[in-house]
Every structure is written in structure tokens, then in C-alpha cells.
Amino acid sequence: MMDKLEKVLGPLATAIGKNKYLIAIRDGFLVSTPLLIAGSVFLLLANFPIEAWTNFVENLMIGNQSLASLLSKCSDATFSIMAVFATMGIGYTIARENKSTPIFGAVVALMSWFILMPFQFNANITSLADATGVAINVPEGANAVVSGLQFGWLGSKGLFVGIICAITSVELYSWVERKGWVIKMPAGVPPTVVQSFSALIPAFIVMTVFFLINLCFVACGTNAFDFVFAFLQTPLLGLGDTLGAMVVAYIFLHLFWFFGINGGSVVGAVFNPILQSLALENLDLYRELGPAGYSVANGAHIISQQFQDLFATFGGAGSTLSLLIAMLFFCKSKRIKELGKLSLVPGIFGINEPIIFGLPVVLNPVILIPFILVPTMNIVLSYLAMNMGLFPPCNGISIPWTMPVIISGFLSTNWMGALFQGVLLVLGVFVYLPFIKTMDKQYLAEEAAAADSADTDDIDLDDLDLDDL
């Protein structure tokens, strides 16, 4: 049974782990991670869930702007234009995997994305002036077609087009390069000049192709962004934003870990782009409605990157912080207690390698059941609690997965969410308990047997005969 399962999961993990595009999407998203976390700090400062503070930052004027709006510039420059970083990052990674010049991959990806992006859109207007500069009264709800870059497309809504553009444009670019259709320079020309000339023809061909694609979309009376958003991004996000998808993804993730395969990186390669997009949509909504209006009823997604990072597991895959508590407080064998003590500090910050490989969880059928059961329970109960409105869904603010439990819940939802994390943590302890106790009993018996035979388990290393070695 175990062998059969591994025969299915092993090749699957290899296929996903070696897929160039999934690697590129994963690494491309990583480019923006430090920016998103840094931006989150400013976003939290602007929206910290204490009313006196939010009033203070909103009313403190610096020049003609409030401190709140100045703080939010940092999140505008990170979250709101996140798709720019992702498109660039993915283009860069694919070019790297293709052995092209990465930086050209990044700019070619951006260029093709901008070619498809509509530069004219409808916007609400708040002030209007005639040709002489005299202000005209603006009627309520007035809007006009304006030119520019739209935040929506630069952020979450443009993400999928960005992924597609980055992959296709850089693949095309590398293909032209491989064909040898490049301008070659004589020896002695500086390498940067050589690179920029050799990029000329491939970039030109990519531009022409995307010009034609855009032409087709316009001829059909639409644009690539609206099209992809409506027919690919929305359905895919809809599919990802379900309890079923999340549970199935996490069962797979933990099965991978059982065979010693880093499940997070395999499942994340497929699932994270969807979760990231959902989180970005959540954040847009949160910033629009504020903490008071942010709810499932108003369109917030329950499933998102933060839901996965902060509510599915505590202390790493398998929610092993619960297991650790069970080990420390309810187990008696020396071995389990020692491992528990050793793993506690890393465990609080979501790192559980000592347990995964030390207990071990890997290939240990006794622990497999709670290892899958506890995260599933966390997901289902958190989902239901958010769905019932006990506390709001995660607000999309990028909180690193290493943030300790309860604090992370408070920052991402509210004090009720933090409390709920605590309850789940304790529930997990009870699920793990019978299983770890089984192991504990076995170890205790072994330890007692060793003590009875007056022969301790430890072997004396002081009386070794080292003379002829």
C-alpha cells in the first residue's frame, strides 16, 4: 500500500518540482515577497486595529495629506502594483532557466504585458476644469474616459495575464535566440553592448507578435486583460476559493511530507499563485471597506495565502506545534521529552524539521493519521468560523508564515481569530495525544527494559581501545 502510494506521489512530485513554468512562477512570486512584507508593516501602521490610533493617523495632516495616506503610499508601491514585480520576476526566472540573459527576460515580459494592457479606462472624476482652467461643478457620480495605467490591472486583476505574458514572451524570445537570429558584434565590443544588440531582434519579434495579439483582441472589441480576467482568473480563483480545494491540497501536501518530500513546495508550486491572487483581492477589499465593513458577505475570500499560512497549520506542516505540546506535557519517555524541548523554540516560529525528520514523522505510519487529520480539522473549523462570521477572513496583509500563532491571528483577523487559533491549537493536542502516547509507551517500555538489565542505553566511549587504530 505504502509502496503503491509512493509510486504515484514520487513521479508527481518530480514532475511538478522540475516543471520550468511552475518553478518560474514560484520563484517569480518570491521576488515580491520581501517588498510585500515590508509594505505590510506600513499597512498595519495605517490600519492598526486600535481606534484611537487610526483616528490619530487619519487626522494628522502633513502638508495637504494625512499621515494615513502617506503611510499607504508604501502599500500602493508594493501590493497595488504587485503584478509588475511578479511579471518581471517570472520573466527573469524563465530567461534564467532558458540560459538567456535574465534581465532582458524581465523587461521583455513587462513590455509584452504592457502592450496588451488597456491604457484608457473609465474613472470617476472628483474635479473638472474647462480649457481656461476654471473649475466646473462636477455632478454626482460623474465619470470620464481617461488615459493612464490603472491600479487594478497592475495589481491582483492583472496577475494572470502577467504570468501568461511572461511565460509566452520569454519562451518566444529564447526561441529566437536559439535560432541564432541575433546581431553579432566583433570581438572587443564591451559585453553589455554585445548583449543589448543581440537582444534587439528577439525583442522586436516578441513585440510584433504581441502587437498582433493585441490587434486581434481589439478587433474583437475587447482586450486581453478583460478576457483573461473573466474567462480564466475568475473561474480559477472561484475553484481555488473552496473548502474542498483547500482540504484536498493539504491532504496531498502532508502525504508528500510522509514520504520525505517537501510537500509545501510541491503543492505550493501549483496552488500558491491562486492563493496569492485571492489574498491580493482580499487586501484591495480590506483597504476599500476598512476593518468594519470587511466580511464574507461583502466579497472577501475565506481561502487565501494567509488562510493557508496562518490558520491551516501551527508550527509547520502537520500543525506540529500541537504535537509538541502533547510531547512536552503528556509524554514520559526521555526520548520524546528531549526531542520536544529541543524542537519547541523553532516550532513556535513554524520550523519543524527536527520533528519531521527526528521523531520521525517521515515514513512513520503511527503519526501519519493525526499528521493529516489535524490540519484538515484546522482548515474545516476555521473555514466554518469565518463563514459564520465569528471573525473576518484574513485581511490579505502579508504576514510571514514564521509569525507565531495567536499574534498572527490577531494581525490577520482580530482578537477573536487569535483566540480561535488558540482553541485549534489545543484541539490539535488532543487529536495527536492518543497516537504520540502509543509511541511514548513503546519507548518507555524500551527504556525500562534497558534500565532493568542494568545496562543503560548509552554506551561508554571512554574505555575504547584506540591503540591500534
Partner 1 sequence: MKKILMVYDQIQAGAGTKDDQMVPLKATREVIGPAIMMERFLKANDEKIIACVYCGTGTWKEDPAEIIRKITALAKKLGADGVLCGPCFNYGEYSQMAAEAALSIQDKLHIPAIACMSAENEAVISKYSKEIPIVICPKKGAVGLNEALENMCHLAAEMIDHKNTDNLRKEICF
Which residues bind to partner 1, rule: CB under 8 A?
Answer: 6, 10-11, 13-14, 17, 259-262, 265, 335, 338-339, 342, 346, 353-354, 357-360, 362-364, 446, 450, 455, 457-459, 461, 464-466, 469
User: For residues 322 and 460, what is the distance between their CA atoms, to the nearest angstrom?
Assistant: 36
Which of 191, 365 has the CB closer to partner 1? 365
Distance of closest approach, residue 469 Cβ to partner 1, in angstroms: 5
Shortest Å, Cβ 18 to partner 1 = 10
Least distance CB 448 / partner 1 (angstroms) = 13
Q: Which is nearer to partner 1, 109 or 336 (CB)?
A: 336
Q: For residues 90 and 361, which CB has a smaller minimum distance to partner 1 in the complex?
A: 361
Q: How far is CA 289 from CA 284, 294, 295, 395, in A?
A: 9, 6, 9, 11
**Closer residue to partner 1, CB minimum distance, 49 or 260:** 260
Least CB distance to partner 1 at residue 466 (A): 5
User: Cα(90)–Cα(82) distance, rounded to whole angstroms?
Assistant: 12
Q: Which phi-psi region, left, alpha or beta, contains residue 148 (left: φ > 0; alpha: ψ -120 to 50)?
A: left
Choose between 73 and 337: whose C-beta lies nearer to partner 1: 337
3-state secondary structure of 291: helix
User: What is the torsional sign of CA 247, 249, 255, 260?
Assistant: negative
The residues, ordered by sequence, that sit 6+ positions from 405 with a Cβ below 8 Å of its Cβ are 310, 314, 315, 321, 348, 421, 422, 425
Distance between CA atoms of residues 274 and 296, nearest Å: 18
Q: Could you tell me the smallest distance in angstroms from the CB atom of residue 13 to partner 1?
A: 5
Q: Pick between residue 17 and residue 422 the one whose CB is nearest to partner 1.
A: 17
- HSE (side-chain half, CA atoms, 13 Å) at 432: 28
Shortest distance, position 431 Cβ to partner 1, whole Å? 22
In the complex, minimum distance from the CB of residue 261 to partner 1, in angstroms, rounded to a whole number: 5
Cβ 219 vs Cβ 210: under 8 Å? no
Q: Which residues of 90-116 are buried (b: 16+ CB within 10 A; e: fewer)?
A: bbbbbbbbbebbbebbbbbbbbbbbbb
Nearer to partner 1, 275 or 339 (CB): 339
